[in-house]
Structure 1
Amino acid sequence: MPDHKVVSKEEWVAKRKELLKKEKELTRQRDQIAKERRELPWVAIDKEYVFDGPKGKEKLSDLFDGRTQLIVYHFMFQPDWTEGCKSCSLLADNYDSVIVHLRERDTNMVTISRAEFDKIEPFRKRMGWKFKWLSSFNSDFNDDFHVSFPGDPKDQKQVYYNYAMTTFPSSEGPGISVFHKDRDGKIFHTYSSYGRGLEEFMIMYSLLDIVPKGRNEEGLPYPMAWVRHHDKYGDQTFKDIYVELLTKKS
């Protein structure tokens, strides 16, 4: 017998309907939050950001690519790292294939990291991603959007991340930012989200949330400790990964 309550189909349907009411309430709340998000005031971008990409030097205004809306994913990739962050890579797996659909809704999406482009491009190709990925190495972009932090994270200094002063375990942080360009070419910052706010863009977590074991991350050193680059899982089973992580934790 399973280690879980088992009931008749009729009782299950009754319980499912109770939960459905809450799910519908959550859907309405999400709709309201989305409306309030769209109604946030904007901030004009007065600085000219220039990035290094597949076409050479490109300005922020170029990244809209004929659209009026631009989404930027701030991908953690420090200049001295040999590969990009594995958790950011998981999120990138989620959005890579949907950009073609976004472009049909007057929206472009690009990825930006602080690592130099010559290091970014081989990693992008290794992972098989199609999205445009640029380097902000020679600009203040990462600093201005609070996803890069000076100093050694081991010093436990307070940094500004997710709209508050906090300690952060890395010199890079993940985030997503949105921009609008008007008919005169003026660019505005409309929205940014960080930390757990990024789970909103991970279909994998939404799927895990409907299975009996859920995310199954309790007891790990940190919630996403099990995540690997998608080309690194190989023959290692989830049990092998958990044993490895729990051994490190102890």
Structure 2
Amino acid sequence: MNHPPIVSTEDWQDALSTLRVREKALTRQLDALAAARRRLPMTPVEQDYVFEGPDGPASLTDLFHGRRQLIVYTFMWHGADHICSGCSLFTDNVGHPAHLNARDVTLALTSRGPLDDLLALRRRMGWDLPWYSSLNNSFNTDMGAGDGFALNVFLRADDRIFHTYSTTARGVERLGSNWTFLDLTPYGRQETWEDSPEGWPQTQPYQWWRLHDEYEMSEDLSR
């Protein structure tokens, strides 16, 4: 297995300083992008969605839990025997909700699956996020998730709900801290799509992802 070239501390610091210039430029670009996102127009949500939650039927308004802003992650669901490892990885990355709540934001999950199955997985994974079944409404399709996953943002204003932002694919991936941490390491995510030096360890993308309680089992089977 190859590794980065070995240089003196002075040369390493010079190379790091050169990279830092690019990192700071990117940070400013991301700040500008966030500023543009805050200035996006919004569109009213006219559909009266009814979800199934632990306490019974819930409207989209109920998902706000009294706050003004709502982020909904649609967790891809193809059955209890086919849990999406990528959605699970993303959900594992979500921190304590108190920090979002302090800024008037609620984060919730929805899935087109039976509520009992969703809550069983939540217990298994140790997640605390509120999770609602959208099995009997068109929320997933209307919000761009379809049979997959997506992240959508909403605002309550003047007794109405507005759709302010939506993303999916790598737009969601960018929000996951595990991917961000891996991007800081010498070998990166170790996936074949990455632009890495010759000899770097790489496997096919996504195939290494597991539910967090399945990694040890996978390692045992590979021995």
Quote the residue 1:237 is aligned against.
219
1:120 and 2:94 equivalent? no
Quote the residue 1:56 is aligned against.
56
Deviation of 1:179 (Å)? 0.1
Quote the residue 2:152 is aligned against.
177
Give the Cα–Cα distance (whole angstroms) in 2 for the partners of residues 82 and 111 of structure 1: 19
Quote the residue 1:31 is aligned against.
31
Are the structure 2 counterparts of residues 3 and 131 from structure 1 closer, same or farther at C-alpha, using a change threshold of 3 Å? Answer: closer
Are the structure 2 counterparts of residues 177 and 3 from structure 1 closer, same or farther at C-alpha, using a change threshold of 3 Å? Answer: closer
> Scaled by the length of structure 1, what TM-score is found?
0.81
Give the Cα–Cα distance (whole angstroms) in 1 for the partners of residues 160 and 126 of structure 2: 34
Structure 1 runs of 4+ aligned residues shifted over 2 Å read 80-84, 235-241
Give the Cα–Cα distance (whole angstroms) in 2 for the partners of residues 3 and 141 of structure 1: 47
Quote the residue 2:198 is aligned against.
none
For structure 1, which runs of at least 5 residues remain unmatched after alignment? 149-171, 242-250
Count of paired positions: 214
Q: CA-atom RMSD, angstroms?
A: 1.9
Give the Cα–Cα distance (whole angstroms) in 2 for the partners of residues 26 and 239 of structure 1: 41
Quote the residue 1:111 is aligned against.
109
The answer on whether the counterparts of 2:4 and 2:186 sit within 8 Å (CA) in structure 1 is no
Q: Structure 1: which amino acid aligns with 2:174?
A: E
Give the Cα–Cα distance (whole angstroms) in 1 for the partners of residues 218 and 84 of structure 2: 20
Give the Cα–Cα distance (whole angstroms) in 2 for the partners of residues 83 and 107 of structure 1: 30
Q: Structure 2: which amino acid aligns with 1:135?
A: S
Map 1:62-73 onto structure 2 (within 5 A). Answer: 62-73=62-73
Deviation of 1:4 (Å)? 3.0
The answer on whether the counterparts of 2:108 and 2:130 sit within 8 Å (CA) in structure 1 is yes
Residues 61-88 of structure 1 show CA distances to partners (whole Å, capped at 9, x for unaligned) of: 111111100000010013x443531110
For structure 2, which runs of at least 5 residues remain unmatched after alignment? 193-201
Taking only the aligned residue pairs, the percentage that are identical comes to 40
The answer on whether the counterparts of 1:75 and 1:84 sit within 8 Å (CA) in structure 2 is no
The answer on whether the counterparts of 1:51 and 1:58 sit within 8 Å (CA) in structure 2 is yes
> Scaled by the length of structure 2, what TM-score is found?
0.90
Quote the residue 1:5 is aligned against.
5
